[in-house]
Amino acid sequence: MIIKILGAESLGVRGLSCSVELKNRKILIDPGIALGWRRYRLLPHPFQVLMGVNIRERVIEQLKSASDVIISHFDGDHCPLARPNPYQLGIDEVKDSLSRCRIWALGPDHCPPTQHKRRGDLAEILNRDLISAEGRKEGSLEFSLPVAHGRQGGAEHRVMMTRIEDQGESFVHASDTQLYDETAIEFILDWEPDVVLVSGPPLYHYSGAGLKDLSERGRQNALKLSRHVPVVIIDHHLLRSQQGIDWLNELKGDARNQICCAADFMTRQALFLEAWRNRLYEWLPVRERWHDDYEQGRADLEPYRIQGWEALIARGKIQPCKWYPCCPIKEYTEAGKLERDWIEQYCLVGNRNCVRYQMEESGQPHPDSMLPNGKIREELA
């Protein structure tokens, strides 16, 4: 089983999308993306927009080879949309891929009106019924009964959790349960997973007694999971604020087993771009009407690309790989011989999945023409 988290707040966007590769299936869960329309009274910074574009492209690419798609609920950061805003994923961009997949989704009876409409839009555009999967089991897949969407989850605002098992390993995607609902926690524990991916509590939405209740209940439920689950990945709503980042860091020290965010799990440094949005505007000012131009396809993201990474490095928000200054990948990129995406996905975020890094650390010789994924690009030699 290979688990790859594609989009989450610690990776720079709103969402909880992931792919799970089994021997004979490739499953994508919640293939949606958003950036948060307003935080600190600010629209998404162009650097975050750029990261959103990159992740949206990766979701689109992953969907091309998917056998199954699971949609835990129909919030705009969890599914493709018929009418996306400029920062979300549109159904038209992935219609062909979705037409070839089995789609397992939360049933309409547990969707509030807006989500009910989105579910219907998807079914209409694809010209097919969506499988209402809650409570079902099919091969490696098992789906929970509907559980509460965090503290505000009423009878019509539910989510569906998923368990995937393969060759003795099991993974649970617990969606937007937010570590609040006891029923969801017990459901997860009954499934006995090896890895859980779950949204943490949205601390930025609350204050006073509500905040205290949300924080303490979330903490106790996270520790309860950690006593029984080897790896608990907590992300999404929690990591939209510095308060949530600090909460998670404190929790890690008290956990019996591993608790981490999505970026930690993917062995790279985090990009808490929504939590840092107001600072990004200070570090890298945005010209007037940039967002209007972006909606009309007239804004250029490239001026913010290099400056954005430089701003994060200069202020200690990220630290590039220690081998980056002398790495041929840096040289090839600066010379225009290699796509910049390589250094952004590996070098600048200290991605320890880099094969070059692993070989350098173990003293193994490797050619300059080896890419971070281990493949050789002969024309670089």
Q: What is the CATH number of the domain that holds 216?
A: 3.60.15.10
Whether residues 38 and 185 share a domain: the answer is: yes
Whether residues 227 and 346 fall in one domain: no
Q: Which domain holds residue 342?
A: 320-381
- 373 inside domain: yes
Pair (184, 38) in one structural domain: yes
Percent of residues, the chain, with pLDDT higher than 70: 99
Residue where one domain finishes, among candidates 235, 265, 295: 265
Q: What is the DSSP letter of 14?
A: B
Tell me, rounded to whole angstroms, the distance of Cα 53 from its chain centroid.
13
Q: pLDDT tens-digit profile of 155-211?
A: 678 999 999 999 999 999 999 999 998 999 999 999 999 999 999 999 999 999 889
pLDDT digits 0-9 by tens, 231-252? 999 999 999 999 999 999 999 9
Q: Can you tell me the distance from the alpha carbon of 256 to that of 261, in angstroms, rounded to the nearest whole number? A: 16
Q: What are phi and psi of 66, to 5 degrees?
A: -80, 140
- Residue 232's SS3 state is strand
247 and 365 co-located in one domain: no
Based on the domain organization, do 260 and 355 belong to the same domain? no
371: tokens are 């890419």
Q: How far is CA 283 from CA 32, 276, 310, 314, 340, in A?
A: 29, 10, 10, 10, 22
Q: Which ranges of the chain have pLDDT less than 70?
A: 152-155
Sign of CA dihedral 179, 183, 186, 187: negative
Distance CA 333, CA 310 (A): 15
Q: What is the CA radius of gyration of the chain?
A: 21
Instruction: Output the pLDDT for position 156.
Output: 72
The residue among 171, 221, 216 whose CA lies nearest residue 197 is 171
Query: In this structure, what are the phi and psi dihedrals at residue 377, rounded to the nearest 5 degrees?
Result: -110, 100
Q: What is the pLDDT of residue 152?
A: 67
